[in-house]
Amino acid sequence: MLVNGVVRVRKSQQPVRERTRFRILRDKLFRYVVFLLSFLILTPLIVILYHISLKGLKVVSWDFLFSLPKPAGEQGGGIYNSIVGSIYLVSLGFIFSVPLGVAVGIYVSERKETLLAKLTGQLSSVMQGVPSIVVGIIVYCWLVLPFRTFSALAGGVALAIMMVPLVIKATEETLNALPSSLREASYALGVSYSRTVLKVLVPSALNGIITGILVSVTRVFGETAPLLFTSFGSQYLSYSILKPIDAIPLRVYTYAMSPYPEWHDLAWGASFVLATIVVTLNILTKVIQRRWKVRF
């Protein structure tokens, strides 16, 4: 069979019935262990979700969502500035990463035989592996030091660096998966190369590209480390691109690490909001992925 011959010979010297019982028992035991370990993982999940809901819902209210943080020691306060900040930062990340990511994805897919495309493809996977805290350091050096201020701009760029590789991969893979008949049909109509890519190929790939963008947005919404040294966080509501700005994960971190118990409760509230947003985005991504499937 598939086992090395020596062991087999020894084992077959045992009476077949005994050996069979042993094998069946071993199979059963393995099955139980595997199932146990698998469903074991659900325990922390349920517990965590339970705690987030329990502690979070105690704090979340209309007021919580729409008012600003109060100074330490005062009751109440909200995370409105963090919500605004998160949306602001992710939007900036989107603006910086999507055009670049899609363009590079197109290049890597269309010109895959060139050295530049192969190199870029490899390097963008590598960029995916840059630890989030290191991204923070880099953007700090690029945009915070020279301007001597933390800023939403720096935060947006940091998030963009984390988003770009995902967008590139999604664009590249979806384009690669398109059948060549699509391209041929377009050329046969006398359509130029650039128009074929932009008006036929990319629109057909839109599902995959948008899914990739949504996945990266979902990911960076919950990121804290890249923002620690770039947008830094703030108690105040800000719309300025050159000033520090808050974000929900930053607020969770600040409150969680503080010595004040009221702030710990608020941290749970913010966590609840954050978790809800992330889960919603996840579901949205799945829905769009399914609804928009293009058949060839």
Partner 1 sequence: MGRNVGVRNRLGPMTGDRIFRFSISCSSFLMIFILFAIFATLSYFSFPAIKKVGLSVLLRKTWNPHAGEFGILPFIVGTLLTSFLAISLTIPLSLSIALVLSEYLRDSKIATFLKGGIELLAGIPSVVYGLWGLTYLVPVVREVAILLNKTPYGVGVLTSVLVLVVMIVPYLVSIATEVMALVPSDLKEAAYSLGATRYETIRHVILPYSKAGIIAGIILSFGRAMGETMAVTMLIGNSNHIPRDLFGPANTMASVIANEFQESTGITFSFLVLIGLVLLCITFLVNILGNAILKKTGIVREREVSCL
Partner 2 sequence: MESPILKILNFSAYYGELEILKKINLDVYKNRVTAIMGPSGCGKTTLIRCINRMHELTPGARVSGKIYLEGEDIYEMEAIILRRRIGMVFQKPNPFPMMTIYDNVIAGYKLNGIRISKDQMDEIVERSLKATFLWDEVKDHLNRKGTFLSGGQQQRLCIARALAMNPDILLLDEPTSSLDPRSTAHIEDLIGELKKRVTILLVTHNIGQAARVSDYTAFIYLGELIEFGPTAKLFTAPDDRRTEEYVSGKFG
Q: Which residues bind partner 2 (CB under 8 A)?
A: 179, 181-182, 184-192, 195-196, 199-200, 203-204, 206, 294-296
Contact status: 24 vs partner 1 (CB under 8 A): yes
Cross-strand pairs, 245? 232
Q: C-beta of 99: minimal distance to partner 2 in Å? A: 21
- Transcribe 231-287 into DSSP letters: TB--SS----TTS-B--HHHHHHHHHTSS-HHHHHHHHHHHHHHHHHHHHHHHHHHH
CB 227 within 8 A of CB 151: no
The CA–CA distances, whole Å, from 118 to 57, 121, 173, 284 equal 49, 5, 14, 32
Contact status: 185 vs partner 1 (CB under 8 A): no
Q: Which does 191 bind (CB under 5 to 8 A by kind): partner 2, partner 1, none?
A: partner 2
Contact status: 16 vs partner 1 (CB under 8 A): no
Q: Which residue, 183 or 243, has its beta carbon nearer to partner 2?
A: 183
Contact status: 296 vs partner 1 (CB under 8 A): no
Q: Which residue, 91 or 176, has its beta carbon nearer to partner 2?
A: 176
Reported as half-sphere exposure (CB side, CA atoms, 13 A), residue 262 has a value of 10
Near partner 1 by CB under 8 A, which window of 71-79, 87-95, 137-145, 234-242? Answer: 137-145
Q: Which does 11 bind (CB under 5 to 8 A by kind): partner 2, partner 1, none?
A: none
Main-chain phi, psi angles of 207, to 5 degrees = -55, -55
CB 249 within 8 A of CB 224: yes
Contact status: 65 vs partner 1 (CB under 8 A): no
Contact status: 164 vs partner 1 (CB under 8 A): yes
Q: Which does 256 bind (CB under 5 to 8 A by kind): partner 1, partner 2, none?
A: partner 1
DSSP letter assigned to residue 189: T
Say which residues have a Cβ less than 8 Å from residue 165's Cβ, sequence separation at least 6.
101, 124, 125, 127, 128
Among 175, 202, 205, 225, binds partner 1 (CB under 8 A): 225
Q: Which does 295 bind (CB under 5 to 8 A by kind): partner 1, partner 2, none?
A: partner 2
Tokens of 33: 């262990």
Say which residues have a Cβ less than 8 Å from residue 71's Cβ, sequence separation at least 6.
235
Q: C-beta of 213: minimal distance to partner 2 in Å? A: 18
The radius of gyration of the chain's CA atoms, rounded to the nearest angstrom, is 26
Q: Which does 294 bind (CB under 5 to 8 A by kind): partner 1, partner 2, none?
A: partner 2
Closest among 76, 58, 75 to 67, alpha carbons compared: 76
Q: Which residue, 239 or 260, has its beta carbon nearer to partner 1?
A: 260
Near partner 1 by CB under 8 A, which window of 67-75, 199-207, 234-242, 276-284? Answer: 276-284
Q: Which residue, 58 or 112, has its beta carbon nearer to partner 2?
A: 112
Q: C-beta of 201: minimal distance to partner 2 in Å? A: 10
